[in-house]
Amino acid sequence: MSSNADPLANSVWTRPPRSRGAQPTLSREQIVRTAIELLDEKGLDGLSMRRLGSRLAAGATSAYWYVATKDELLELVLDEVMGEIEVPEVGAADWRTAAAALAHGLRAMILRHPWVAGLFGVRPAMGPNAMRMSDRMVGVLIAAGFTGMPVAYASSLLMSHVIGSATMESAWRRSLAPGKTANEAVEDMRPYIDDVAARYPDYGGWWRENRDLDADRLQDEGFAFAVERLLDGLQSWLDRGGEAGPA
Amino acid sequence: MSSNADPLANSVWTRPPRSRGAQPTLSREQIVRTAIELLDEKGLDGLSMRRLGSRLAAGATSAYWYVATKDELLELVLDEVMGEIEVPEVGAADWRTAAAALAHGLRAMILRHPWVAGLFGVRPAMGPNAMRMSDRMVGVLIAAGFTGMPVAYASSLLMSHVIGSATMESAWRRSLAPGKTANEAVEDMRPYIDDVAARYPDYGGWWRENRDLDADRLQDEGFAFAVERLLDGLQSWLDRGGEAGPA
DNA sequence: TAGTAAACTCGAACACCGTGCGAGCGCCGA
DNA sequence: TCGGCGCTCGCACGGTGTTCGAGTTTACTA
């Protein structure tokens, strides 16, 4: 995390006093932390620079000394939550377990902070914490036997899936009326869905047979199912020796 | 962000059309089409109700007669572009080919309209055209032998992957300086990447061996690779008869 | 010790945004 | 001819991100 060669230089005790100027009352870390607080409470739209300022007990534009732009703040915020993901030790388990842990960890983070789903599309996640995650993923895949471009392909496959499913899931959750459970929401939409089902034969037939389900459990199970299928696909490619396989 | 007390009654899709009256100078279709034009030209941030109005040679708020809210307009716009995706005829090809065609069609649409990547996270895509696509996907999967919940899981797996990878790719493209090619951008970032590579052994080692690559081709190949792996995973699950497979 | 300059805070202002409201317009059925 | 409805749109409200520059506090230098 620290980009400092000498750890002592960063220590509270040995850090030299400021060369000039007033003591800062704010800090980048504090700003990022408070922004995340605000985002968790009120979502992406709930974060404005003015609100951030007032929650920091500071002026409306004070944060601009530490952060060039709101976009930049969001980039910092994105990387900060990427740091929450627990990465497995290299070589601690077989590669499937490790890769699945990374995928589930990323998903858990997004569910904890649903607003991040809307951030992945703005700027690529390239901060140090995102890099740490990529590094671990690459390490796991190389240990599994991948080499060359397929390392990047497989890594991107896993990340893409998590981000895509979390994006869709958080869109779905956002569309729920605040007080309602997922199942109640499905109940509310049933007339519309039934109407669609009547018009589309395949979807409709499936829906008629599977309308009684727990919408929340479905998301978790679907994600776990997807990760396993996805790892199966990668594994079988490895087992075949990296060839295209049967058309 | 509109309030969503009753998602069904508020839904764009269920509201009956206006009955009769004088001839309008605007129309919902025209508004949606013009909004897409604007979005293609200037991106998500480039669309404002005022700009839309003036491009329609109308007042700044005239569109509000046809559309309750900007969010609702975006919902219409999202479904409109979902209608651009060519869906395969049912039974026209084997299921892998059909599923791959759907995935590639969805991706092609997103690359044509990069701003949609930012829309999937706002509200679920539930308009008629999105439903048409889901129906076709479900049809393909049922024909392949899926039943019950795995139909939904597999469908969501395919869609999630496309949306996730397109989200990341469009974030990447947006971060490029407007005039530059992808390769030039990689060149610009090399010092930073090298720095990261020096800190992270796995990623760094891989990077040193694979730094000479075509960034654009990488995206296409990676997507194709991912789709094949993903279909492999689903296929082998079917072949095993739908059991969990070896841990 | 006085002076300078850097580090930092922050209020005012600008240009924009989404949207509610209601006055006004032209067409239609009666 | 007239009332009412479908439709347009200017105005205004309360936000937004960001720039600017004046003001404050501090540490170093002369």
Q: How far is A83 from chain B (nearest CA, A)?
A: 15
Tell me how close the Cα of B177 comes to any Cα of chain A, in angstroms: 12
Tokens representing B215? 């960034």
- Return the C-alpha torsion angle A226, A231, A237, A238, nearest 10: 180
Q: Which residue has the higher pLDDT, A121 or A106?
A: A106
The helix-helix angle for A149-174 and A95-112 (nearest 10°) equals 30
Instruction: Tell me the CB-side half-sphere exposure of residue A103, using CA atoms within 13 A.
Output: 28
CA of A64 and C1' of C14: distance in angstroms? 17
> Taking the CB of residue A108, how many other CB atoms lie within 10 A of it?
15
Q: List helix spans (H) across B17-148.
A: 28-42, 49-55, 70-82, 95-112, 128-144
User: What average pLDDT does this structure show over B213-237?
Assistant: 93
pLDDT for the residue numbered B230: 98
Cα B38 to chain center, whole Å? 18
Residue A222 CA to residue B155 CA, distance in Å, equals 10
| Å separating the CA of residue B52 from the C1' of nucleotide D15 | 20
Q: Calculate the angstrom distance between C1' of C22 and CA of A192.
A: 35
What is the rounded CA–CA span in Å between residue A213 and residue A206? 12
CA distances from B94 to A154, A233, B29, B89 (A): 25, 19, 36, 11
Distance CA A140, CA B206 (A): 12
Nucleotide nearest to A24 (CA to C1'): C8
Assess whether pLDDT exceeds 70 at residue B244.
Answer: no
Q: Please answer whether residues A177 and B6 qualify as being in contact, where contact means their C-beta atoms are separated by less than 8 angstroms.
A: yes
Chain-chain contact of A232 with B232 (C-beta, under 8 angstroms)? yes
Confidence of residue B84 (pLDDT cuts 50, 70, 90): very high
Give A2's pLDDT tier (boundaries 50, 70, 90): very low
Query: Does B239 score more than 90 pLDDT?
Result: yes
Residues of A in contact with B93 (CB under 8 A): none
Assess whether pLDDT exceeds 50 at residue A8.
no
Q: Where are the alpha helices (DSSP H) in chain B?
A: 7-10, 28-42, 49-55, 70-82, 95-112, 128-144, 149-174, 182-199, 201-209, 215-239
Tell me which range, A86-90, A121-125, A239-243, B72-76, is most confidently predicted by mean pLDDT: B72-76
Using the predicted structure, report yes or no on whether residue A199 has a pLDDT greater than 80. yes
Contact at 8 Å (CB) between B133 and B106? Answer: yes
**CA closest to C29 C1', residue:** B21
* Report for B23-32, B73-82, B120-129: range of highest mean pLDDT: B73-82
Q: Which of B7, B139, B150 sits opposite A188 (nearest CB)?
A: B7
**CA nearest to B6 within chain A:** A177
**Residue B164 near residue A159 (C-beta atoms within 8 A):** yes
Q: Choose among B139, B171, B205: nearest Cβ to A120.
A: B171
Q: Which residue is nearest to nucleotide D8 (CA to C1')?
A: B62
Confidence of residue B112 (pLDDT cuts 50, 70, 90): very high
Buried b (16+ CB within 10 A) or exposed e, B136-145: bbbbbbbebe
Report CB contact under 8 Å: B231, A226.
no
Q: A192 pLDDT band (50/70/90 cuts)?
A: confident
> In angstroms, rounded to a whole number, what is the distance separating the alpha carbons of residues A74 and A45?
12
Distance CA(B75)–CA(B73), nearest Å, equals: 5
According to the 3-state scheme, what is the secondary structure of A8-59?
HHHCCCCCCCCCCCCCCCCCHHHHHHHHHHHHHHHCHHHCCHHHHHHHCCCC
Nearest CA in chain B to A234: B229
Q: Which residues contact B137 (CB under 8 A, 6 or more apart)?
A: B99, B102, B155, B158, B159
Q: Does domain B95-239 have CATH number 3.40.50.2000?
A: no
pLDDT confidence band for A216 (50 / 70 / 90): confident
Mean pLDDT, chain A, whole residue set: 87
Structure tokens at A106: 């990323």
A233 vs B5, which has greater pLDDT? Answer: A233
What average pLDDT score do residues A210-232 get? 91
Q: In this predicted structure, what is the pLDDT of residue A10?
A: 45
Rounded, the Å distance between the CA of B84 and C1' of C25 is: 38
pTM: 0.89
| Contacts with A33 (C-beta within 8 Å, 6 or more apart), sequence order | A80
Of B11, B167, B229, the CB nearest to A163: B167
B118 and A118 within 8 Å at the Cβ level: the answer is yes
Would the CB atoms of A226 and B160 count as touching at under 8 Å?
A: yes
The C-alpha of B66 sits at a distance from chain A's nearest C-alpha, in angstroms, of: 21
- CA B20 vs CA A148, B16, B17, B23, B24: distances in Å: 64, 12, 9, 9, 10
Give A138 or B188, the one with higher predicted confidence. A138
Cβ proximity of A176 and A187 under 8 Å: no
Residue B136 pLDDT > 60 = yes
Q: Which residue has the higher pLDDT, A25 or B64?
A: B64
Residues of B in contact with A159 (CB under 8 A): 164, 168
